Amino acid sequence: MRSFFAISLALITGCGDNLAEPSDPATENGDLTAGVEDDGIIPRLIPGVCASRAWPEALVEAKDSDVAVVPMTHGAAVFAVPKSGGDLRGFLVDGRGLIMGDPTGTKIIGGNFTGVSATVTDGRVIVGLVDGSNVAVNVVRDDLGDFRALASVAGSYVGDSTIMHARGERITATGGATGMVLSTFDSQWASVGSELLARSVPTGMTTTAYGNDAMVAWTTATGCHLQRVASGIHSEQSFPCTNARVAADYGSRAGQLVYQDGGDILLSNIEVSSHNEIANQLMLAPGGTAPRIVFDGARYWVSYTNIHNDIVVGYLDDKNNLVSTAIEGMRPMQDAYELAFVNGAIWVYGIDETGFNASKLCLTRE
């Protein structure tokens, strides 16, 4: 294998533009400030699709895939594995959503992987791959053309943020039959061992960075758990948080947890340093599955699939209401889409009957 650290990303130009309709780059993002009008009324900001992309040549092994998206300096890396088991494939897009390099994508790691997570930590693209009762943790070269295996750790689930910091240590959180496990990597990315975080056996989990700490949330059949790793603070509620996703605002010492309850989407506010940091349980949207959430520095954005299998996406207002719109026509299976904050904009990436595609969200005044 070629030297990993000696090779950096080479940007490739000359890609085709699959923008669904023309747009003005100077105004494409809309006005994200809610100024007061002359009559004293603050106009409401409404989300809408302002650009669409399609990558019909990118190879898709299965419509029922697990998808992960990593924001990068000049765009994003899109990863996918088939839920029935297969190789890790991926491709790069620039900030406008134009595919870079081979339009068919890249086979990155061969195997029988059924789940994928990915993140950028300390300038490296880190990918976690579920392989039975183990998770393979790998660092992937920026152009996706090579990888280096870091460790195989116990677990049948891996956090959405694959590696995070906890008081300076690099950690990966996984979950499986033995409970919740933390694995640590040193400054040279060498594995230095694992330890048990909790004995409760999860049926799903999610993670996010919180400053120099890590939030790990997981569900069992009867309870929802949240652990801040570096602080050692554990919170739980007596309701499950199925298919949960978590996002945090370190500056406000807060976060949001979205999850399913049957066919509904629920929200729990995370209040750091409160008696129970999973503060409540609120109905967010009836009739939905597969929630996602990201924080863009000002707002929390949430998406889910509705009863028509369309993706609904929007932001939380100051009263925890979801101001949203439906992306009609993009109808992925539950794990085959992602919500991401890329190059200052909110994007939804997914796989449906037509292959890989994406929609960019913008805000306009009502």
The pLDDT tens digits of the residues spanning 136-186 come to 999 999 999 999 999 999 999 999 999 999 998 999 999 999 999 999 999
pLDDT of the residue at 70: 97
pLDDT of the residue at 328: 86
pLDDT of the residue at 80: 98
pLDDT of the residue at 168: 87
pLDDT of the residue at 43: 67
Residues with pLDDT less than 50, the chain:
1-39
pLDDT of the residue at 10: 36
User: Which candidate, 242, 304, 296, 300, places its Cα nearest to that of 270?
Assistant: 300
What one-character-per-residue DSSP string does 34-55 give? -PPPTTSPPPPEEEEEEEEEEE
pLDDT of the residue at 41: 55
Cβ–Cβ under 8 Å, residues 315 and 301: yes
CATH architecture of the domain formed by 49-344+358-365: 7 Propeller (2.130)
The whole-angstrom separation of Cα 347 and Cα 51 is 9
Q: Which two tokens stand for residue 256?
A: 């949001």
Query: Which tens digit of pLDDT belongs to each residue from 101-130?
Result: 999 999 999 999 999 999 999 999 999 999
The whole-angstrom separation of Cα 3 and Cα 95 is 28
pLDDT of the residue at 300: 98
